[in-house]
Amino acid sequence: MELDLKRIIDQVGKDKGISRATVVETLEKALVTAAHRKYGQEREIEAHFNEDTGEVELFEFRTVVESATSGAADIGLTDARSHDPEVEIGDQLGVKLETSGFGRIAAQTAKQVIIQEVRNAERQIIYDEYKDRKGEIVHGVVRRIEKGNLIVDLGRAEGIVFRKEQVPREMFRVNERIRAYVLDVLREAKGPQIILSRACTEFLIKAFEQEVPEIYEGIVSIEAAAREPGARSKIAVSSRDSDVDPVGACVGMRGSRVQAVVQELRGEKIDIVPWNNDSVRFVCSALAPAQVVRVMVDDSIRSMDVIVPDDQLSLAIGKKGQNVRLAVQLTRWKIDIKSESFMREVQADLAEALSVVEGAGEYEAKLLLDHGVASLDELVQTETELLISIPGISEEGANLVRERAQQLAVEKVERERLQREQAEQERLQQEQAEQERLQQEQAEQERLQQKQAQPEQAEDVVEADAAAEEGTEPEPVSGDAGEAERPAAKADVTEETPPRS
């Protein structure tokens, strides 16, 4: 019994990955529970595993009194001194209980407690392990798919990739290997819930850390990242070593490193741009591959108006605004993309408003643009101090400029309204013309079908006329044999009729 119990304790600890002390504590707790079931919950019982004998000993603690009562909570002095000669009245004495008398129910209770406690210990170990791995990439195998969520076997534990943490249009099958980022570890009643993600930006960053040694060693740092999972990502990198190009380090020889990350992300496009403490330069880099001509900055609202060539406008904005949206996420600046032709129109509007002041024109309009005044509405709201800071404009001239700008803004709004109405009218006319064209085509098609049907009708008429001239009826197109023989029977009756006398 001694060797068996010790061996069982060691084997359970090894199989479950639990410390020996935890297994012993679980066993002691289970026997105390069984003892309470046998002797009653009010009894003060403790268990102790004896390493020498290999047995779990149970002790009931009683209070030493002069004369024992009927209750089980105390023990008479005479009986107490038979266990411990030095005991005195009021002391707590532990009396050993026999475990061999436990019944089937008590033994079953002990077994259930052991199973439950071992399971709890396993869950605690898994929780402690994975809460420390939060923020890492783990490997696993997709075991099943439940309501669109991927259940991943991680070895000793299971993780879950919720639908929202999956990359759009990315499909995994059961038994397929998967890598994912440990997003969170939650303590649940049924065990720790390990939440995984492949759609978060951190997964992109960790993937680069694993592929680029310079990032792992701390020479190159990913300063910022923006991602639209499954479509496109941008990362900004810097280097502590002036001899190490951070962008080149991430790209790798012939693009080997970045291609490894792209392959892991199932073809997601990745832009790698250099980090810069200069916000303007950083924004210009973030809008790559578009080229920037000019930038107007408003630090008060952390906003930039970025002017690009007309042929670069769609490139700067990106498909459905994707490029500028990622640039905003990467730089944390509000970015408004405008074309050069649009800015020329704005400058012309400002120059026209300034024309009420003698000598003011294009140059002064450019100065206003440099101060962030990028529309007639903004010119109306411009403070007098800014306007009079422009050479040649007085306080009275500033008021005239704002009045003229207000007038031009109203005229421009009216002009744009008329253009919209005209465009809508042209659209409706085009739709009406297209509808008429379709109706004409349908009418022409019906006419051709009728024309093709007319020759067939004419042939039927010719056959009927020919049959009439021969004195016979045309053969029926359809019908049974009896109907076809009727004309012949009529002819026979006519021949048998005698001639008149």
| C-alpha distances out from residue 486 to 471, 475, 481, 483, 492, Å | 15, 12, 9, 6, 10
Q: Which amino acid is at 398?
A: A
CATH code that applies to domain 133-199:
2.40.50.140
Give alpha helix (H) positions in 170-310.
201-211, 213-216, 246-251, 256-264, 279-286
pLDDT at site 471: 60
Architecture of domain 202-337: 2-Layer Sandwich (3.30)
Q: What are the residues facing 93 on neighbouring strands?
A: 62
| 2-126: CATH topology | N Utilization Substance Protein A; Chain:P; domain 4 (3.30.1480)
| The Cα angle at residue 178 between residues 136 and 233, in degrees rounded to 5 | 65
For 249-273, the pLDDT digits (tens) are: 999 999 999 999 999 999 999 999 9
| C-alpha distances out from residue 224 to 273, 287, 394, 422, Å | 10, 14, 47, 47
Q: Which amino acid is at 32?
A: V
Q: What is the mean pLDDT of the chain?
A: 81
Burial of 124 (0-12, 13-18, 19+ CB in 10 A): middle
Helix (H, G, I), strand (E, B) or coil at 415: helix
The tokens for 373 are 């005044």
- Is there a contact between 217 and 208 (Cβ–Cβ < 8 Å)? no
Q: Is the pLDDT of residue 484 over 50?
A: no
Q: Hey, do 2-126 and 342-434 end up sharing a CATH topology, with the first three levels equal?
A: no
For 435-479, the pLDDT digits (tens) are: 999 999 999 888 888 888 777 666 666 666 666 666 655 555 444
Top pLDDT among 482 and 416 is at 416
- Is there a contact between 105 and 116 (Cβ–Cβ < 8 Å)? no
Whole-angstrom distance between the N-terminal and C-terminal Cα of the chain? 144
Burial of 298 (0-12, 13-18, 19+ CB in 10 A): middle
As a whole-number percent, the residues of the chain with pLDDT over 70 amount to: 79
Q: How far apart are CA 364 and CA 457, in angstroms?
A: 85
Q: b vs e for 125-142, b when ≥16 Cβ sit within 10 Å of the residue's Cβ?
A: bbbebbeeeeeebbebeb
Closest CA to 322 of 337, 339, 307: 337
Give alpha helix (H) positions in 304-383.
313-317, 322-331, 340-354, 362-370, 376-381
pLDDT at site 488: 43
Q: What are the residues facing 227 on neighbouring strands?
A: 233
Top pLDDT among 409 and 147 is at 147
pLDDT at site 466: 66
List, in order, residues 6 or more apart from 472 with CB less than 8 Å away.
487
* DSSP 8-state code for residue 73: S
| 342-434: CATH topology | DNA polymerase; domain 1 (1.10.150)
Per domain, the residue ranges of the chain are 2-126, 133-199, 202-337, 342-434
pTM of the model: 0.63
For 69-107, the pLDDT digits (tens) are: 655 666 666 666 667 677 777 677 667 777 665 656 555
